[in-house]
């Protein structure tokens, strides 16, 4: 790897001297005469080291060091100074410079200091590489975690491999419920069969019934062919009923027969079809309280709650944030193409201090946006919603003058989110009313809400 070094000195002679010296040693070098030019170059290129003169007209070396260390946390600075101002050099070290050398300098002296700093940097990169490697030890079926509760969940999933027990996955939005459902299927003995997922909230009752049970030709106007329902389609594999809390009481009763007897009848048909699958349900509500309030049948709840898996929210497993962020960078096409491999410690600290109401999905969105804005190989800044302002619908509003800094795609995405949030607010979270208003179908609305991390309950 060829390192790129930035030399900042108002003395052209020194610039030239250092440039020749570094070029001889096969470093890439840029030189400039002051802080403003330095900033412009730093924005544009990825440097391993900045060599900064202490005394310059305008911004001095100490202020420049401070600014560099604040904005480019991983960039090292060496200060160049005359004997008379060694005190200033020491001050610069207090502000984050790695070393200083005194003018006039010996070639060897400056090369040694340079190599020392770059070696330290190489070791830090190595540590972060090893840390990434380590993450393989913490991964299971596409899920990464070093959290104890999550590891218990991985074990539960493994213990389910040899049976067809019904599983209820609960957890806040974006905690990985669907991922767990897939893991249960693909680790289990039914992995040869299909994994059929249906989002129960995306359909009004009548449609949900025909989606699930299928229909025979002529069952209703418009039923021009027979159609296999999701339940039958999942036979031999796994049926995943997502957002199970939104299933109406009468439909719960119809599903009880599937749960108890593994039998269905198609709409408009009269023969009983035997089916055979694992059933997994997921919810972000507390179903026990729904049973207590009469919104869910008790018998239905007991049938689906055979093996409960409760996913912790991300704020209860902050130790996973660096691991997840690394994983997300590795899986991000743009990050891979642009060699963005790391999140700076400063940005990680920001991420670890945020409460993550949208959990891992929200983290994914934040990382994706940060990658869009990153110019070097390190993600140094992340944009987080202000937690005190609330992250729900109230925080949504015109992004004002920052808009013009966004790529068009991101701008459109934000505008869509704002629009949908306002719409849902107006219709108090009503899916069909909002979908009708927007002239899209409920399933599309649902998919869009999910991709923006908007939750119906926040608008009720
Ligand atoms: N442990 C994990 N490791 C890596 N990625 C994860 C992990 N858990 C979740 N994700 C990612 O987070 C996102 C949300 O996961 P998923 O769709 O499974 O959540 P969910 O709980 O079903 O959300 P919702 O309630 O909104 O439907 C997905 O992109 C998923 O790949
Ligand atoms: Mg889900």
Location of structure tokens 């790695």: 98
The yes-or-no answer to whether 4-134 and 389-460 have a common fold is no
Q: Whose CA is nearest to atom 28 of ligand 1?
A: 361
Backbone angles phi, psi at 31, to 5 degrees: -125, 150
Q: Whose CA is nearest to atom 10 of ligand 1?
A: 176
Question: What is the CA(169)–ligand 1 centre distance, in A?
Answer: 12
Backbone angles phi, psi at 375, to 5 degrees: -105, -35
Count CB atoms within 10 A of the CB of residue 174: 24
Question: Residue 394 has what pLDDT?
Answer: 36
Q: Which atom of ligand 1 is nearest to the CA of 455?
A: 26
Q: Which atom of ligand 1 is nearest to the CA of 320?
A: 1
Q: Which atom of ligand 1 is nearest to the CA of 327?
A: 4
Contact, 18 vs 110, CB < 8 A?
yes
Q: 3-class DSSP state for residue 97?
A: coil
The terminus-to-terminus CA distance of the chain in angstroms comes to: 56
Location of structure tokens 């999942």: 234
Location of structure tokens 């607010």: 425
Q: What is the CATH topology of the domain spanning 4-134? A: Rossmann fold (3.40.50)
What are the residue ranges in the chain where pLDDT is below 50?
135, 388-399, 401
- Sign (positive or negative) of CA dihedral 142, 148, 153, 154: positive
- Decide: 53 in ligand 1 pocket, CB within 6 A: no
DSSP string, 115-156: HHHHHHHHHHHHHHHHHHHHGGGGEETTEE---HHHHHHHHH
- Decide: 450 in ligand 1 pocket, CB within 6 A: yes
Pairing mode, if any, of strands 4-8 and 28-32? parallel
What letters, b where the CB count within 10 A reaches 16 and e where it falls short, cover 18-48?
Answer: bbebbeeeebebbbbbbbeebbebbeeeebb
Q: Whose CA is nearest to atom 25 of ligand 1?
A: 173
Ligand nearest to the CA of 180: 1
Q: Which atom of ligand 1 is nearest to the CA of 181?
A: 18
Angle, CA 285 vertex, CA 179 and CA 454 arms, to 5°: 70
- Decide: 312 in ligand 1 pocket, CB within 6 A: no
Pairing mode, if any, of strands 278-283 and 238-242? parallel
Q: Whose CA is nearest to atom 29 of ligand 1?
A: 361
Location of structure tokens 């040869």: 192
Q: 3-class DSSP state for residue 58?
A: coil
Query: Could you read off the pLDDT of 92-132 as tens digits, one per residue?
Result: 888 889 998 888 888 898 999 999 999 988 887 777 666 65
pTM (2 d.p.):
0.62
Show me where the domains of the chain are located. 4-134, 144-310, 313-384, 389-460
CA-CA distance, 241 to 61, in Å (whole number)? 62
Ligand nearest to the CA of 172: 1
CA-CA distance, 231 to 30, in Å (whole number)? 65
Contact, 185 vs 237, CB < 8 A?
yes
Tell me whether the omega of the peptide bond preceding residue 104 falls within 30 degrees of 0, making it cis: yes
Question: Residue 244 has what pLDDT?
Answer: 97
Q: Whose CA is nearest to atom 2 of ligand 1?
A: 143
Name the nearest CA neighbour of 442 among 223, 214, 204, 244. Answer: 204
- Decide: 327 in ligand 1 pocket, CB within 6 A: yes
**DSSP summary character for residue 267:** B
Q: What is the CATH topology of the domain spanning 389-460? A: Arc Repressor Mutant, subunit A (1.10.10)
- Decide: 141 in ligand 1 pocket, CB within 6 A: no
Question: What is the CA(141)–ligand 1 centre distance, in A?
Answer: 12
Name the nearest CA neighbour of 233 among 182, 199, 271, 198. Answer: 198
Question: What is the CA(362)–ligand 1 centre distance, in A?
Answer: 9
CA-CA distance, 163 to 165, in Å (whole number)? 6
Q: What is the CATH topology of the domain spanning 144-310? A: Rossmann fold (3.40.50)
Question: Residue 224 has what pLDDT?
Answer: 79
H helices present in 313-396, as ranges: 321-331, 333-337, 345-352, 359-373
The CATH architecture annotation of domain 313-384 reads Orthogonal Bundle (1.10)
Instruction: Tell me how far apart the 2 most distant CA atoms of the chain are, in Å.
Output: 99
Torsion of the alpha carbons at 294, 295, 298 and 299, rounded to the nearest 10: 130
Q: 3-class DSSP state for residue 10?
A: coil
- Decide: 145 in ligand 1 pocket, CB within 6 A: yes
Question: Residue 391 has what pLDDT?
Answer: 41
Q: Which atom of ligand 1 is nearest to the CA of 178?
A: 18
């Amino acid at each position: 790897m060829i390192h790129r070094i930035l030399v900042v000195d108002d003395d052209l002679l020194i610039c030239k001297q250092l440039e020749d010296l570094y070029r001889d040693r096969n470093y890439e070098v840029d030189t400039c005469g002051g802080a403003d030019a330095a900033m412009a170059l730093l924005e544009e290129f990825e440097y391993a080291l900045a060599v900064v003169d202490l005394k310059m007209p305008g911004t001095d070396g100490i202020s420049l060091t401070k600014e560099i260390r604040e904005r480019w946390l991983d960039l090292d600075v060496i200060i160049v100074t005359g004997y008379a101002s060694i005190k200033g050099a020491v001050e610069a070290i207090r502000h984050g410079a790695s070393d200083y050398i005194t003018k006039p300098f010996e070639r060897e002296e400056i090369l040694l200091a340079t190599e020392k700093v770059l070696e330290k940097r190489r070791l830090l990169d190595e540590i972060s590489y090893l840390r990434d490697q380590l993450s393989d030890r913490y991964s299971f079926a596409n899920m990464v975690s070093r959290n104890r509760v999550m590891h218990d969940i991985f074990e539960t999933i493994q213990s389910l491999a040899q049976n067809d027990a019904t599983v209820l996955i609960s957890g806040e939005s974006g905690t990985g419920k669907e991922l767990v459902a897939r893991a249960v299927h693909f680790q289990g003995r039914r992995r040869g069969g299909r994994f059929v997922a249906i989002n129960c909230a995306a359909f009004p009752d009548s449609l949900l019934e025909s989606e699930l049970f299928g229909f025979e030709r002529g069952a209703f106007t418009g039923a021009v062919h027979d159609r296999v329902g999701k339940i039958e389609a999942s036979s031999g594999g796994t049926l995943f009923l997502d957002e199970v809390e939104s299933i109406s009481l009468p439909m719960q009763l119809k599903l009880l027969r599937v749960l108890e007897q593994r039998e269905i009848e198609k709409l408009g048909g009269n023969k009983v079809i035997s089916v055979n699958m694992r059933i997994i349900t997921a919810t972000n509500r507390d179903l026990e309280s729904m049973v207590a309030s009469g919104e869910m049948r008790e018998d239905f709840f007991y049938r689906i709650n055979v093996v409960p898996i409760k996913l912790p929210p991300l704020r209860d497993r902050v130790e996973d944030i660096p691991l997840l962020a690394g994983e997300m960078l590795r899986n991000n096409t743009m990050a891979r193409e642009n060699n963005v491999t790391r999140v700076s410690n400063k940005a990680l600290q920001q991420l670890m201090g945020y409460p993550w109401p949208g959990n891992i999905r929200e983290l994914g969105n934040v990382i994706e946006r940060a990658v869009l804005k990153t110019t070097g190989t390190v993600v140094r800044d992340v944009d987080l919603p202000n937690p005190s302002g609330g992250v729900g619908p109230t925080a949504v509003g015109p992004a004002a003058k920052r808009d013009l800094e966004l790529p068009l795609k991101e701008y459109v995405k934000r505008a869509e989110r704002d629009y949908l949030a306002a719409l849902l607010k107006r219709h108090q979270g009503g899916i069909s009313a909002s979908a009708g208003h927007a002239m899209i179908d409920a399933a599309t609305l649902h998919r869009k809400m999910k991709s923006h991390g908007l939750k119906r309950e926040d608008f009720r």
